[in-house]
Chain A
Amino acid sequence: MRWDFASVFTNTDALLVGAIGTLHIFVICLVLGLSLGLVVGLGRYARTPWFRWPATAFVEFFRNTPVLVQILWFYFALPMLLPFEISPLAAASLGISLNSAAFSAEIYRGGIQSIEPGQWDGARALGMSWGQAMRRIILPQALKRMTPALTNRAIEIFKMSTLASAVAYVELLQQGKLIASLNYNPIEAYTTVAVIFFVFLWPMVQFTYLLERRLRRSE
């Protein structure tokens, strides 16, 4: 068999559109997922059960269901309850963001819990409120310990973005499918897509390894 990548490269613009779509949904889910995760994570740490229980239920539910099921639920099921349609981007972003929020909530919670109680005492002794202590003393320290886990989450989000193709959102894999079906060249098309993802993700992965090593050395 002959490899013919020319048929892929004539479709560079299609791939470019796909890459933009991938980056688009990645950024949305990264921002939404990690910030919502912080809220939920703090909620799980709250004193009042009014925050703690919903936050716990949220985490348990979204950690224990597959993202693709969530995406399809938002795309096919949710519109039944709403007076409007849900776009592929919205459905996929919702699924991936909520899932990432659940996972990152656990990272935040673990990071906060890893700070010695003495730090809380010190902040309290200075007359800080819970919120001030959290913001000024606890989170800055915890964030440092959480960084590798959070960048790992970012990598997972990037990989999960391919699931948006299941609801025909235009991203890299979706464009790969398109190119493969138009040119009958699935080998080249899917290999190219795989290589593009690898090129995007490999530096992120190496960066995470670096952070992990550095953290391990500093502890």
Chain B
Amino acid sequence: MTLLRVVGLTKKFGPHAVLRGIDLDVQPGERLAILGASGSGKSTLLRCLNFMEMPDSGTVMLDDKVVGRRESELVRVRQRIGMVFQQFNLFPHMTAIGNVMEGLRTVRRFPKAEARARAGKELARVGLADKAETYPAHLSGGQKQRVAIARALAMDPELLLFDEPTSALDPELVGEVLNVIRALAEEGRTMLLVTHELGFAYHVATRVIFLADGTIHEQGTPDEVLKHPTKERTRAFLARHKEFSL
């Protein structure tokens, strides 16, 4: 069964066509790394998958069922897809555990004690059990992003979307976040990861996609795309990321 199937997805902002026909299949357990220049539509693609942006045309299917456009349906779909943002977007008026509990309490209607127990487990998984009562303002960037990952995990998502999860971090904090993501990969989680950490993508992804001109320009195994790209633009893009060591 295909977990996620995207057919002919397009998205315009005004006259500017950002996505011009994306076709994509994701099987359970797959880990896709999405590469592309800044502004090539990587974020837009992820946001269209959980309908934070409304696609202009095309279909998105989850478990072979087409996702409709009714708000009630979208709300349910978003619960099955976890998302982690570049800027963390933690809720500043809630503690770390409050952030993780929020979806369970408000959306899933868990009783408080149950939500707290579950949230505590997720925080422990990202190594932040001791920061449960800390407000985001007192957390480092890496800690914030780990709380954000715990918040997404608490909803038991079948699919995780990471949108440049380490791009806003100081270099010395990148590692702790990548380690958490690597652990999730080892659990066999299905994920789409937009990243500029090519080395990480090479080792963790099962498939790499290079986005250009609003389409999937090239895709294949990490070895194919990152080491032996066939397209000129992919090569040019990789050349610009010289620090990438496999």
| A–B contact (CB under 8 angstroms) | no
| Chain A residues in the interface with B (C-beta under 8 A) | none
